[in-house]
Amino acid sequence: MSWATGSAGRFPRGRGSTLTVVLENPEHLPALLASDVVDNATTVFVPGRSGRTDGPVIVGYEGSLSEPGAEFSHDPGFYLQIQAYGISEYMSVVGPTLVRVANSTDFETYLRDADRTRHEGVFAEFLTNPVIQLADLPALGAGPEGDGPSLRLHVGRTGEVSTSPGGTRLGTVGEGLDRVAAEWARINAEGTQPCAVCLGGWLPEPIRASGLAERPWLGRYLATLHGIRDLRARGLDVTGVSGFGGRLVAALRELPEPADAVDPALPLLLWTDDAVYAHSSSHGRSFKLDRDIAELAEILLVCGSVEAGARFADRESLERVRALFDGAGIGLCSGVLTRTGK
């Protein structure tokens, strides 16, 4: 999943080799094994072959992880559907599914769905299904933190290397990791929006960069999708998310520059018909809140500090709730606003 999404999750940063490599052509395996791209901790997916060398773990597979409309499978009977974003709303979900933005039309549809969610609070149903995962999150607004050649690589049919099937070419199989990583860093340094690599082969960069620049909140939108899937997997039906079409505290709805608009690291407040939940994408945790605590937490999130929130609730209550979240290792207040005292 880390290979498909470009999200490192629990995996350590700063590796000296690649965590996961997917080959489209088994003939490239010897060149890969002879390079410093892999080590004993690397997992390599190879068409039709399994086993362990004296280095990486080799996992055989059938089908494709790259082509929308294909199916990926490997023993002992795991099947993953690969689907294009643009048709996903019309398809029935039959099992684990990876949704790819594979062209400009897919990207435009993705932005349309995100805009509707932002302004109306209406989520595309398929994106909140717990068995659905959106691929290549760094290029869709999540940012490149944790992604890169140390996390994942894809080797195409003719030996071209990138971080994903739709990515800009970074080199050729057999080349050293330092060279591939340097090219990844160079391309991203020249881009105006993160990440300029993992969809660079499928999506014109000016179109992608423009779409992201107009929507700096996409990282928080993607975090929201993760939070809803987390709760749906527990049998909970989310009916609203703070900042996406509504607020718990009505007076907060008209604030022109909410402090929780952009930062995906800030916790999210989601509610069902019966309860309110806080979700921290940074910690991968969701927990239930009393309504009064949730409203105070929302004031802190939206206003960005106790001082700014004091116009909506008493300072002592806000301080108490901030301390409660701080004790759980989850900050509610924007670091910039807190440091400046605004």
Model confidence pLDDT, tens digit, residues 157-211: 999 999 999 999 999 999 999 999 999 999 999 999 999 999 999 999 999 999 9
- Give the per-residue pLDDT at 11: 67
- The answer to whether residues 62 and 80 touch, using CB atoms and an 8 Å cutoff, is no
Q: State yes or no: pLDDT of 216 exceeds 70.
A: yes
Tell whether omega for the bond before 198 is within 30 degrees of 0, i.e. cis.
Answer: no
Least confident of 121-135, 234-248, 277-291, 298-312: 277-291
Closest CA to 223 of 190, 251, 263, 273: 263
Residues 231 and 148 in one domain: no
- For 167, which DSSP code? S
Residue 272 is which amino acid?
T
Q: Which of 190, 213, 236 is the last residue in one of the domains?
A: 213
Q: Which of 213, 232, 256 is the last residue in one of the domains?
A: 213
- Give the per-residue pLDDT at 54: 74
To the nearest whole percent, how much of the chain has pLDDT over 90? 82
**Average pLDDT, integer, range 85-99:** 92
Residues 229 and 201 in one domain: no
Q: State yes or no: pLDDT of 31 exceeds 60.
A: yes
pLDDT bin (cut points 50, 70, 90) of residue 341 is: very low
- Give the per-residue pLDDT at 51: 63
Residues 13 and 69 in one domain: yes
Residues 16 and 145 in one domain: yes
**Average pLDDT, integer, range 53-66:** 88
Residues 209 and 229 in one domain: no
| Structural domain boundaries enclosing 238 | 218-340
- pLDDT, averaged across the chain: 92
Q: Which residue has the higher pLDDT, 69 or 75?
A: 69
Residues 229 and 189 in one domain: no
Highest mean pLDDT among 15-19, 89-93, 276-280: 276-280
In 36-137, beta strands by DSSP E: 43-47, 51-52, 57-63, 71-74, 78-84, 97-100, 132-134
Token reading at 6: 């470009």
pLDDT tens digits for 3-29?
999 998 766 666 789 999 999 999 999
pLDDT bin (cut points 50, 70, 90) of residue 336 is: very low
Residues 229 and 186 in one domain: no
- The answer to whether residues 100 and 135 touch, using CB atoms and an 8 Å cutoff, is yes
Q: Looking at the 3D structure of the chain, how many domains does it have? A: 2
pLDDT tens digits for 319-335?
999 999 999 899 998 65
Concatenating the DSSP letter of every residue in 8-20 gives: -TTSPSS-SS-SE
Give the C-alpha separation, 232 to 123, whole Å: 13
To the nearest whole percent, how much of the chain has pLDDT over 70? 95
Residues 152 and 229 in one domain: no
State the pTM of this model: 0.92
Residues 257 and 312 in one domain: yes
- For 252, which DSSP code? G
Residues 189 and 224 in one domain: no
Q: State yes or no: pLDDT of 288 exceeds 70.
A: yes
**Average pLDDT, integer, range 146-158:** 95
Q: Which of 213, 231, 257 is the last residue in one of the domains?
A: 213
Residues 324 and 275 in one domain: yes
pLDDT bin (cut points 50, 70, 90) of residue 337 is: very low
pLDDT bin (cut points 50, 70, 90) of residue 303 is: very high
Residues 236 and 253 in one domain: yes
Q: State yes or no: pLDDT of 266 exceeds 90.
A: yes
